[in-house]
Amino acid sequence: MSPRLRLALLGAALAGLLPGAVAVIGRLPEFGATIAAYGESINAIVPGERHVANMVSAINFDVRGLDTLGEEFMLLAAITGTVVLLRGRRGESTTDRAMRLPGRAILPRSEAVVLTCRLAGPLLMLFGLYIVVHATVTPGGGFQGGVILASGTLLAYLGEGYAGWRDVVRSHWLDAMEGGGALLFALCGLAPMLTGAAFMQNVLPLGTFRDLYSGGLMLIENAGVALAVCGGFTQLFLEFLEETRESDGPDEPGEDTA
């Protein structure tokens, strides 16, 4: 498909979506408007029934947990497609030799960038863990925290360079995190059925309202999402960064090391 045809298709798609987007935006409630009836019902029922203070997590992992499970497997399918498309052609080598475009020098990383990334990376990952474990108490959760944790691994790449980063980040670990997290979420729905309960029905102690360990089964579902999202997004970073890696073999003109 030619670039011109791609742009034409993109323009047609945007033109078709624009009226709907404008209509939806125009009907959004004003800032500070009265909470809708659905939101009022959630606020009235969830604290007593599920002992959680974060209504968003309650909706994601309990009220509409089945929808969230489907979204989790959509992410798994998208990342699997990316891995099959990119890694299937490139392979699993961990060489640190990068491709070099003719006439474009590879500039070394500055000491300021290295220091900043080495300091900010662990702090960012610690903040990501904080967001994950406080899913039922304060705004946050497994998806948000998982993305932050994955961003911390990207800072490690910027601070240590490709060779150091690739020595630590292994694709099979990320595969296990992504698939294992999605499986854990699915088991949270199937396991209660073994006790005679409904799919994803809570069968664990709910804990104390506003306590870190409140929410029962939602805590395990949240952990599964955190694992899957962190592993999945880091896997995407890995696959895209690997596209800049030179294939194994003797050096040829136009190549450089990094």
Contacts made by residues 62-68, CB under 8 angstroms, sequence distance 24+: 62/200, 62/202, 62/217, 62/218, 65/189, 65/200, 65/221, 66/189, 66/199, 66/200, 68/185, 68/221, 68/225
Instruction: Decide if 98 is inside a domain.
Output: yes
* Inside any domain, residue 208: yes
For residue 231, is it within any domain?
yes
In a domain, 36, yes or no: yes
Of 161, 165, 151, 162, nearest to 121 (Cα)? 151
Q: What is the pLDDT of residues 203-224, one digit of tens each?
A: 999 989 988 889 999 999 999 9
Range of the domain at 87: 10-242
CA 215 to chain centre: 22
pLDDT band for position 247 (50/70/90)?
Answer: low
Residues 6-25: what's their mean pLDDT? 94
Chain-centroid distance of CA 62 in Å reads 20
pLDDT at 226: 95
Q: What is the mean pLDDT of residues 101-115?
A: 77
Q: Is residue 224 part of a domain?
A: yes
Would you say 244 and 237 are in contact if contact means Cβ atoms under 8 Å apart?
no
More confident of the two residues 169 and 11:
11
Rounded mean pLDDT of 232-250?
Answer: 75
87 part of a folded domain: yes
Could you tell me which of 233, 230, 208 has the C-alpha nearest to residue 136? 208
Q: Answer whether residue 249 is part of any domain.
A: no
Task: Give yes or no for residue 114 having a pLDDT over 80.
Answer: yes
* 153 or 108: which leads in pLDDT: 153
In a domain, 196, yes or no: yes
In this structure, what is the dihedral angle of CA atoms 127, 131, 132, 135, given to the nearest 10 degrees? Answer: 170
Burial status of residue 129 (CB atoms within 10 A of its CB: 0-12, 13-18, 19 or more): middle
Maximum separation of any 2 CA atoms in the chain, in Å = 69
CA dist 184 and 203 (Å) reads: 15
Average pLDDT, the chain: 85
Prediction pTM value: 0.78
Instruction: Give the number of domains in the chain.
Output: 1
Residue 2: predicted pLDDT: 85
At 195 the three-state DSSP class reads coil
